[in-house]
Amino acid sequence: MLIASDSNILEEEYNVDDPTEIVSIPTIIIAKDFGDIIREYTKIKKDTNEYIVISIKFSGVKEGGIVELELFMRSDDQKARNFFAEFSYYKEKLGEKMKFTPIYKYSRFVNEQFDNNISINENSNSNIPCVKESRMCATSNHIMQIENPRKILIENIRETCIFQEFGQEIYWKYMLQFNELCFDIKNPLFNDECALSVLKKISFSENDFETLNKCMVQVVQYESKIDNDYNTFNKRKIYSIPDLFINGVPYRGTWYSKYIFRSICNGFLDDAKICEGINPREVIYNQRVGNGVLIFIIVITILVTSCSLLCYKRYINKNLEDALSERIEEQTMKSISQYQMFQDNKKHGSQLELVSE
């Protein structure tokens, strides 16, 4: 959405995202003079029934080097986990050009109990949602039926340590395998047992397990990435997850991976070999096609609903007519019977009068 301001001076406060994010619409605010130019141009083109395509580019954004993606997430967030499977192809295309950092969401509950006992060798039955004296906590996920918040907390810490100790590639492999084996929407196995099976599948050695265990113990005892992640969420003013930043700039487009990749190439990466075949107009075409399909589905739905309602109306009317006919017939027969009884009573009454005389 392109918004023309009523002033040529733009205030920084205008560029504030909706914290509720009920509707996510990529928005750009431009100065009044630029808005007037576009408005006049659209009036001219409107008379000729021509399409108007506006291409917006940000000068100086492309750096031609490393593209840094920061994913603000929680280990139990379905949309964030789907990102890893969907973006894997483009991750391979970007190769060494891409630097990825996961940033995990924690809550802080002042008076909540905390438990620093962490083990990846057995599944603890504890449901205490916090670690550290600073109370870095997680909450349960009712949608995914993960009612024990500690399972989410431990998985956050585990994934943090996998990334911290073993790097981006091993972390990415773990996330993909975890999605496949442990994150079934109908029955998510959010526990240490399933996580251990994933680690074994990606060829973790005994030394690797020791390194991971040591890291998990340390991050809840000392100032660590957990605290940094919490502070980063507050500093960036992240109100909802998942959220994606590209080279420090918040991504506000559609979460389809091809659109994320296209945004990277159009705005942040100057590499013709990686980005060959990217056509900015393709987005507009796809949106038109998508809108056409959506309109077709809506029309068909309306027609089917109308036909169903018409058939149902006829069915109801027929039943009402049948019921009404039966009711009328019943009332008619009852009236005739009452009339006959009245006549009989009247006749007998006359005879009684004659006898009495």
Residues composing the chain: 357
Cα–Cα separations (whole angstroms), residue 66 to 69, 102, 163, 213, 229: 10, 16, 19, 31, 22
pLDDT tens digit sequence for 74-85:
999 999 999 999
**What pLDDT does 121 receive?**
46
Same domain, 33 and 156: no
3-state secondary structure of 278: coil
DSSP letters for 313-340: HHHHHHHHHHHHHHHHHHHHHHHHHHHH
3-state secondary structure of 202: coil
Of 278, 302, 321, the residue at which a domain comes to its end is: 278
Given a contact cutoff of 8 angstroms between Cβ atoms, the answer to whether 179 and 189 are in contact is: no
Query: Is residue 171 in some structural domain?
Result: yes
Query: Is residue 160 in some structural domain?
Result: yes
**What pLDDT does 82 receive?**
92
pLDDT tens digit sequence for 122-153:
445 678 899 988 889 999 998 888 888 999 99
Same domain, 247 and 120: yes
User: Dihedral of CA 299/305/311/314: which sign?
Assistant: negative
Query: Is residue 56 in some structural domain?
Result: no
Cα–Cα distance for residue pair 101/343, rounded to 1 Å: 99
**What pLDDT does 302 receive?**
84
3-state secondary structure of 280: helix
The alpha carbons of the chain give a radius of gyration, in whole angstroms, of 34
Same domain, 163 and 226: yes
Give me the number of domains the chain comprises: 3
All residue ranges of the chain with pLDDT < 50 are: 121-123, 280-289, 350-357
Same domain, 306 and 202: no
**What pLDDT does 352 receive?**
43
**What pLDDT does 118 receive?**
80
Given a contact cutoff of 8 angstroms between Cβ atoms, the answer to whether 109 and 135 are in contact is: yes
**What pLDDT does 199 receive?**
94
Same domain, 300 and 353: yes
